[in-house]
Amino acid sequence: MSDNIQAQNDAERGVADNVFAIDLSSPPPPSEGPTRANSLKNMPPPPLQSTDEKALVDEKKIGVVAVVKEVPAPAAKKPTPPKPKWKRASRWVRFKLWYNTYRKFFTFVVTLNAVGLLLSALNIWTYPRHYTGAFILGNLLTAILVRNELFGRFLYLIANNLFAKWTPLWFRLGCTSALQHIGGIHSGCAVSGCAWILFRVVLIFINHKNTHDAILITGVTTNLFIAISIASAFPIFERHHRFIGWLGLLSTWVFVVLGDIYDSDTKKWDPNGTHIIRQQDFWFVFGMTVFILIPWFTVREVKVDIEIPSPKVAVLRFERGMQQGLLARISRSSIMEYHAFGIISEGTHAKYHYLICGVQGDFTRSLVNDPPTHIWTRQLKFAGVSNTSKLYKRGVRVCTGTGLGAALSTCIQSPNWFLIWIGSDQEKTFGPTISGLIHKHIEPERMCLWDSKQRGGRPDVMKLVRESYHSFGAEVVFITSNYQGNQEIMEGCKQEGIPAFGTLWDF
C-alpha cells in the first residue's frame, strides 16, 4: 500500500485543569439540506467589525462649548494559561514503543534472509545458488501481497469473525498489533529481495562467460530500480515509488524470462513457452503482477459533493455507506499520487460516506480553493487499525483535529466505544454535517468534545484518557493524532499499563 499520513490539526495546544464532557450545539435544521459552497469565493462574507477600538467621542456644540460623551474601554482579555511541559517517559518505555511489532517483523525477516545469504555465500547451503530466483521473487511477492488491499481486508475479516471478544485479551491485542504493523514484513521482504538480486547479479558476473550480456544488463537494471523504489518509499515520493516500482516489475519480467530461455550449456536461446511456464520464477512474477493490478482495476471517477465549513477544512461526501474502520484513497487524476483519509459513515445501509480533509498541502488546499465535482478513487477500500475495534468489548477512541475522520465511524456504528475529540473551534471549523452526525448517533455520556479555543487551551489529555478508560470499562485505547500528541498519549498509556495503539509512521 502506498501510505499517506493523515495530516492532523496541530492547533490543539495549551492546558486546562478541569476535564469534563461538553456538547457541540446542535446545528439549526436547514430548509433544503446543509449549505455547500463550490469555492471560497461563494462563501458568505464575514460580519462587519468595528475598526476603531478607541473610545467614541460625540461632540455636540452648544455655542462654543463641546459636550463629550465617553464610552468605557473594553475589558482586558483573560491571560492564557501557561502550556504544560511534557514530561517524557523513561528511556526503557520509549525504547519499547520504538521497537514495536513493525520493527520486530522487519528484524525477523531481514535476519532470516541474511542468514540464508551468508550460508549461501560461504557455499554451505548450495540450494540458493541454483535457485536464487525463488528467494528473490518469493520475497518480492510477499512484500507486495501484504500491502494489497484485498489481502489486507481478508486478514481483518478473519480476525474480526473468528477471534472477536471471546479470546483472551492478550491474544486480541496481538491480532491488532500484527495487523497494524504488517508493513514490517513488507519492508523486510523488499529489502531482502533487493539483497538476493544483488547476490544473483554477483554470481552472474562471476560466471559471466556462460551468461549472455542481456541477462547481465537486465539483472543490474532490475536491482537498480528496486533499490530506488525502496529508497523512495515515503509519502512525499509516492509517485516516484509507484512508477519506479512498475519499472522494476517490468525489468523483473525481462530478467526472469531471459534467464529461463537462455541455455548456459549450449549458449543458445530456447524461447519455448512450455518450458517458461514450468519455471517457478514465472509464477512468482505472475503473482506479483496480479496483486499489483488488482487495486487498479477498481479505480473509478465518482461524483463528489464538497462542503467547505471553513478555510481550514473540506468535507467530501460520496454515495453509499461503509463499514467502520476503512480508509479511502482519492486523487484528481487516475494514476498520480493518491491521498488517504479516514471514512466516516453511519453504516453499510447509509446513503453517504464522508471524508474530512484538513488543509495541509497543495492537494487538500485545492479542494477548498477549487473544489471538483468528480474525483478519482479506488472502490476497494483498505482497512485501518480501527477495523479491529470489533475484537473488543469496549474501547476509547482518542483523536485530535482532522483525526476525527479516522475515528468517528467506530463510535457511530458501535455503542461500545467512547469518543474523545480535541479540536479548535470545532463546530465552526468542521461544520454542521459533522456536528450533526456526532449528535445523532453518540449519546452525551459516551463522548467528550473538548474545544481548545473555548476552553483556552488543551486539556490534560492523559487524565482524560485515564478516567474515560476506567469509568467506561474499556479494554483498549485507539489514538489518531499528530506526532507529538501521539507520542505523549502512547508514552502515558504505556507507563500506566493501558493497552493503546497510535498513529503509525511505518517508513
> Which one-letter DSSP state was computed for residue 173?
H
Pair 113, 260 in one domain? yes
Interatomic CA distance for residues 174 and 114, integer angstroms: 26
Pair 371, 444 in one domain? no
Pair 208, 245 in one domain? yes
Of 331, 354, 383, which residue sits at a domain end?
A: 383
Pair 105, 190 in one domain? yes
- Assess if residue 222 is contained within a domain: yes
The three three-digit cell numbers of residue 164, written as one number: 472477536
Pair 377, 404 in one domain? no
The CA-based dihedral angle spanning residues 237, 308, 451, 409, taken in that order and rounded to the nearest 10 degrees: -70
Interatomic CA distance for residues 133 and 203, integer angstroms: 12
Interatomic CA distance for residues 133 and 276, integer angstroms: 13
- 3-state SS, 30-57, equals CCCCCCCCCCHHHCCCCCCCCCCCCCCC
**Which pLDDT belongs to residue 175?**
96
Torsion over CA: 48, 54, 60, 63 (sign): negative
Q: By the 8 A CB rule, do 27 and 435 touch?
A: yes
The count of domains in the chain is 3
Q: Extract long-range pairs of 95-103: CB within 8 Å, 24+ residues apart.
A: 96/494, 97/487, 97/490, 97/491, 97/494, 100/177, 100/181, 101/177, 101/178, 101/180, 101/181, 101/184, 102/181, 102/183, 102/184, 102/504, 102/506, 103/184
- Assess if residue 25 is contained within a domain: no
Interatomic CA distance for residues 386 and 407, integer angstroms: 7
Pair 285, 318 in one domain? no
Pair 217, 312 in one domain? no
Domain that holds residue 137: 91-297
C-alpha distances out from residue 31 to 35, 120, 341, Å: 10, 74, 30
**Which pLDDT belongs to residue 122?**
93
Of 383, 400, 420, which residue sits at a domain end?
A: 383
- Assess if residue 40 is contained within a domain: no
- Assess if residue 280 is contained within a domain: yes
Burial environment of residue 345 by CB neighbours within 10 A (0 to 12, 13 to 18, 19 or more): buried
Residues 237-270: b if buried by 16+ CB within 10 A, e if exposed = bbebbbebbebbbebbbbbbbbbbbbeeeeeeee
Pair 147, 285 in one domain? yes
Pair 178, 327 in one domain? no
Pair 286, 169 in one domain? yes
**Which pLDDT belongs to residue 229?**
77
**Which pLDDT belongs to residue 239?**
63
**Which pLDDT belongs to residue 360?**
85
Taking alpha carbons only, the member of 239, 204, 233 closest to residue 218 is 204
- Assess if residue 243 is contained within a domain: yes
**Which pLDDT belongs to residue 58?**
40
Interatomic CA distance for residues 507 and 492, integer angstroms: 24
**Which pLDDT belongs to residue 112?**
97
- Assess if residue 18 is contained within a domain: no
pTM of the model: 0.78
Torsion over CA: 177, 180, 184, 186 (sign): positive
C-alpha distances out from residue 4 to 61, 304, 366, 504, 506, Å: 69, 21, 17, 11, 10
Cβ-Cβ contacts under 8 Å for 314 (sequence gap 6 or more): 306, 307, 308, 357, 359, 364, 367, 368, 371
User: What is the domain-level CATH number for residue 320?
Assistant: 2.40.30.10
- Assess if residue 80 is contained within a domain: no
Pair 285, 377 in one domain? no
Of 248, 278, 297, which residue sits at a domain end?
A: 297
- Assess if residue 79 is contained within a domain: no
Interatomic CA distance for residues 383 and 155, integer angstroms: 10
pLDDT, one tens digit per residue, over 32-63 is: 344 444 443 444 444 444 434 333 334 333 33
User: What is the domain-level CATH number for residue 458?
Assistant: 3.40.50.80
**Which pLDDT belongs to residue 235?**
60
pLDDT beneath 70, residues of the chain: 1-86, 232-241, 265, 273, 506-507
**Which pLDDT belongs to residue 274?**
74
The three three-digit cell numbers of residue 474, written as one number: 474499556
Pair 357, 395 in one domain? no
